[in-house]
Amino acid sequence: MADQLNNEGAAGLIPEPVIVKTERRWFLAMAAMLGVMLAVIVLTGIGQMLHPLSDVETIDPATLHLQGEFVESNLGSALEPDGSITVRIIAEQYMFVPHCAVVPASTPVRFRLTSADVTHGFFVQSTNTNAMVVPGYVTNVRTSFESPGTYQMPCDEFCGFGHHAMAARVVVVPKDQFKNLRPDERMNCGTQ
């Protein structure tokens, strides 16, 4: 009896068509909000060419210096047969090695990084790169630099006591000033 009265009372206060209309309005508002948020994600993703790494490449972090592509003589910039550049860097507590890379402008650049100890972050100022460097895996990131200059490359993943000082640089030189490397030659700021 009491329920009935309440129902009748509520129905009496707000007529059902009004309730339905309000619900529909709020539903549309929520759908629009969701739509905007999804669009922001998708559009920034496409616009800034952000995409997750798609490969899983494993590597033993304890023996980087003994074998494979991250031995110290193979670090730095390498020229590929198609004219693009591959830069190999080790991230370790608390530095990048080499801590200054040289690449030519307006050329596809592929960064290949791996960690010797804990998870570090790879990020080059004003590019679309931003990835974690996880021990045991190779981080493979492609980008290119349009204008010459010095780009900061701080570790953006807290990695311990000395993290705040872990920062490297990428020096982008005009394409015609970049040394024509032999296939087995590697370069960084120190060897230039």
Residue 22 backbone class (left: φ over 0; alpha: ψ -120 to 50; beta: rest)? alpha
- Give residue for tokens 């193979």: 74
User: Half-sphere exposure of residue 75, counting CA atoms within 13 Å on the CB side?
Assistant: 22
Nearer to Cu ion by Cβ, of 132 and 189: the residue is: 132
120 lines the binding site for Cu ion (CB under 5 A) = yes
- Per-position x/- string for 36-75, each x denoting binding to ligand HEC as judged by CB under 6 A, each - no binding: ----------------------------------------
| Cis amide bond preceding 98, omega within 30 | yes
Q: Is 186 helix (H, G, I), strand (E, B) or coil?
A: coil
Nearer to ligand HEC by Cβ, of 127 and 163: the residue is: 163
Q: Looking at 6-14, 69-77, 83-91, 92-100, which segment touches ligand HEC (CB under 6 A)? A: 92-100
> Residue 136 binds which entry of ligand HEC, another protein, Cu ion, none, with Cβ cut-offs from 5 to 8 Å by kind?
none
Distances (CA, A) of 81 to 8, 18, 19, 140, 178: 81, 70, 68, 18, 15
Rounded-to-integer distance, Cα 6 and Cα 181, Å: 85
Instruction: Identify which of 77, 143, 139, 78 has the alpha carbon closest to the alpha carbon of residue 107.
Output: 143
Q: Looking at 40-48, 58-66, 68-76, 164-172, which segment touches Cu ion (CB under 5 A)? A: 164-172
> Residue 8 binds which entry of another protein, Cu ion, ligand HEC, none, with Cβ cut-offs from 5 to 8 Å by kind?
none
Residues between 115 and 174 with contacts to another protein, criterion CB under 8 A = 116, 142, 154, 160-162, 164-169
Residue from 24, 25, 51, 175 touching another protein (CB under 8 A): that is 51
Q: Is 140 exposed, middle or buried (0-12, 13-18, 19+ CB in 10 A)?
A: middle
- Contact residues for another protein, defined by CB under 8 A: 51, 54-57, 62-67, 69, 71-74, 78-82, 84, 86, 90, 92-100, 108, 116, 142, 154, 160-162, 164-169, 183-186, 190
- Contact residues for ligand HEC, defined by CB under 6 A: 93-95, 162
